[in-house]
């Protein structure tokens, strides 16, 4: 019922702009039927729905590009969208939500069935896409890594070898993302070559994403600076070489979390060398160091 109604309404909007200003209640379906016999617009996954998920969700939920998955889990997904709790960046527009509901009510059509009434021809053969690392990063990584979200590290400009090693660790399950439980899944399908290309592209992008949220002149920061110089700078002060990720400008919560897990022997990472270098430091020291690092917003230096 709802779908037919919306279908026809959409057709009308397309066909005549005059109808745009008409109140919906005055709309006469009979008129529409005679004006364009046989015109039928379906809401389909391919044309209408998939782009919505691609644009708003797959950076964090890669499964949402899969038709079967979305169809099967639609109720839960729709609830999050309708209530406005997803995406995190703000509620989707009413038009989009209505479209999603109409797609559900139309029983989740995947592709257009009838011959297309769209005058623009649809290309039949889509050429094999080349692996475009920048595009992959844009589509799949920036949703988290460029938002300055607490707990999410800045990954831009880190050493290529470090980035590739960590991605491989996630892929092999030797490092676990216990923050958002996403990293292991997201790198799973990349080949070794693709990981290398992504690492290279990330390394070449010089971008600071961390938000400075400490008083840069506080005693905490001063203490942290002293500790860092004494115990960490020998390895971490530079722009980063193979083994040494830079830390200045890194996200504060991520640093604290990471260091505390190293100390507690609960690090979900294979390399355990950091534990030794953090020996003797108290939680307050760790927080001071992280505050100092956060105050150094330049990143990478």
- Residues in contact with ligand HEC by CB under 6 A are 56-57, 59-61, 76-77, 80-81, 86-88, 136, 140-141, 143-145, 151-153, 155, 163, 166-167, 175, 177, 179-180, 182-183, 186, 198, 231-232, 234-236, 243-245, 247, 255, 258-259, 269, 271, 273-274, 277-278, 289
User: Considering the complex, what minimum distance in angstroms separates the CB of residue 173 from ligand HEC?
Assistant: 12
Angle CA(22)–CA(25)–CA(30) in degrees, nearest 5? 85
User: For residues 97 and 109, which CB has a smaller minimum distance to ligand HEC in the complex?
Assistant: 97
Distance linking the first and last C-alpha atoms of the chain: 62
**Length of the chain, in residues:** 301
User: For residues 88 and 114, which CB has a smaller minimum distance to ligand HEC in the complex?
Assistant: 88
> What does DSSP assign to residue 228?
H
Handedness of CA 66, 197, 55, 183 (dihedral sign): positive
User: For residues 71 and 236, which CB has a smaller minimum distance to ligand HEC in the complex?
Assistant: 236
Contact in structure between 53 and 139 (CB atoms under 8 Å): no
User: Considering the complex, what minimum distance in angstroms separates the CB of residue 96 from ligand HEC?
Assistant: 9
Residue (of 196, 197, 188, 176) closest to 63 by Cα position? 188
Question: By three-state DSSP, how is residue 100 classified?
Answer: helix
User: For residues 16 and 85, which CB has a smaller minimum distance to ligand HEC in the complex?
Assistant: 85
User: Considering the complex, what minimum distance in angstroms separates the CB of residue 228 from ligand HEC?
Assistant: 6
User: For residues 221 and 259, which CB has a smaller minimum distance to ligand HEC in the complex?
Assistant: 259
User: Considering the complex, what minimum distance in angstroms separates the CB of residue 85 from ligand HEC?
Assistant: 7
Token pair of 145 as six digits? 């890594």
Handedness of CA 44, 47, 48, 49 (dihedral sign): positive
User: Considering the complex, what minimum distance in angstroms separates the CB of residue 192 from ligand HEC?
Assistant: 14
User: For residues 4 and 134, which CB has a smaller minimum distance to ligand HEC in the complex?
Assistant: 134
Contact in structure between 277 and 258 (CB atoms under 8 Å): no
User: Considering the complex, what minimum distance in angstroms separates the CB of residue 252 from ligand HEC?
Assistant: 11
């Amino acid at each position: 019922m709802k779908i037919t109604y919306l279908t026809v309404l959409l057709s009308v909007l397309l066909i005549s702009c005059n109808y745009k200003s008409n109140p919906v209640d005055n709309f006469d379906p009979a008129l529409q039927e005679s004006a364009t016999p046989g015109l039928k617009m379906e809401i389909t996954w391919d044309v209408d729905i998939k782009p919505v998920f691609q644009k708003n969700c797959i950076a964090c939920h890669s499964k949402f590009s899969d038709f079967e998955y979305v169809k099967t889990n639609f109720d839960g997904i729709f609830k999050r969208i309708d209530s406005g709790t997803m995406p995190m960046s703000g509620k989707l527009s009413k038009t989009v939500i209505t479209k999603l509901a109409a797609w559900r009510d139309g029983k989740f059509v995947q592709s257009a069935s009838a011959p297309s009434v769209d005058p623009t021809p649809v290309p039949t053969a889509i050429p094999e896409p080349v692996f475009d690392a920048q595009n992959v990063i844009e589509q799949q990584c920036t949703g988290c890594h460029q938002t300055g979200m607490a707990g999410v590290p800045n990954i831009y400009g880190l050493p290529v070898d470090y980035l590739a090693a960590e991605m491989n660790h996630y892929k092999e399950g030797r490092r676990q993302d216990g923050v958002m439980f996403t990293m292991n899944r997201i790198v799973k399908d990349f080949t070794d070559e693709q990981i290398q290309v992504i690492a290279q592209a990330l390394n070449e992008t010089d971008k600071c994403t961390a938000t400075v949220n400490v008083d840069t002149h506080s005693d905490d920061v001063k203490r942290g600076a002293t500790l860092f110089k004494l115990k960490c700078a020998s390895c971490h002060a530079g722009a980063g070489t193979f083994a040494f990720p830079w830390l200045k400008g890194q996200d504060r919560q991520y640093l604290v979390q990471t260091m505390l897990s190293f100390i507690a022997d609960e690090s979900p990472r294979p390399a355990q060398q950091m534990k030794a270098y953090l020996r003797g430091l108290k939680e307050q020291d760790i927080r001071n160091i992280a505050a100092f690092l956060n105050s150094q917003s330049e990143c990478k230096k």
